[in-house]
Amino acid sequence: MGKIKVGFGFDVHQLKENHPFVLGGVKLEHHAGAYGHSDADVLLHAICDALLGAANLRDIGFHFSNKDDRWKGISSLILLQHVVALIKEKGFVIGNIDAMVCLEAPKINPHIPAMKTYIAEAAAISEEDISIKATTNEQMGFIGREEGVVAYAVCLIERE
């Protein structure tokens, strides 16, 4: 077995009325959506940061600056593909991804299978190696007031 490394990722975005809400590559029906330079997919951004951190490749902002128009409105699934290519260049493959989304609404449980399918395809791994969970913030703070959404992710990568 090669060297094993673990990474941690976190992302947060504001929710804005009448804005698309993309999470895990899935467009959710909701009155408000995550706002950002790309598609503001907090789940994929947290996963990207976890993978980049594990491979000691800095963070998502370093590779995909919000001042660079190439990334304006881009699907974060494409960002994930770029990240996977970067870690592969360093000789790593993904062992697994475990992620948590924290939001009050909408409920994402029905969408998790589709999210896993999109992420598995973009990351070139099995859906069995991806765990996505959700929780609320018990109506406390900016998450509880539905002003924002947060995602956390950990991953394991290993040398090929």
Is 96 annotated as contributing to ligand binding?
A: no
Is 138 annotated as contributing to ligand binding?
A: yes
Is 60 annotated as contributing to ligand binding?
A: yes
Is 119 annotated as contributing to ligand binding?
A: no
By the 10 Å C-beta count (0-12 exposed, 13-18 middle, 19+ buried), 55 is classed as: buried
Q: Is residue 111 classed as helix, strand or coil in its secondary structure?
A: helix
Cα–Cα distance for residue pair 57/78, rounded to 1 Å: 17
Is 30 annotated as contributing to ligand binding?
A: no
| β-strand pairing of 92-102 with 148-159 | antiparallel
Is 149 annotated as contributing to ligand binding?
A: no
Is 65 annotated as contributing to ligand binding?
A: yes
Is 92 annotated as contributing to ligand binding?
A: no
Is 72 annotated as contributing to ligand binding?
A: no
State which amino acid sits at residue 92.
F
Apex 111 CA angle, 142 and 6, nearest 5? 70
Is 58 annotated as contributing to ligand binding?
A: no
Is 68 annotated as contributing to ligand binding?
A: yes
Q: 153 pairs with which residues across the strands?
A: 9, 99
Is 145 annotated as contributing to ligand binding?
A: yes
Is 137 annotated as contributing to ligand binding?
A: yes
The most distant pair of C-alpha atoms in the chain lies apart, rounded to whole Å, by 49
Cα–Cα distance for residue pair 10/101, rounded to 1 Å: 10
Is 64 annotated as contributing to ligand binding?
A: yes
Annotated binding site for a divalent metal cation: 11, 13, 45
Annotated binding site: 11-13, 37-38, 45, 59-61, 64-68, 135-138, 142, 145
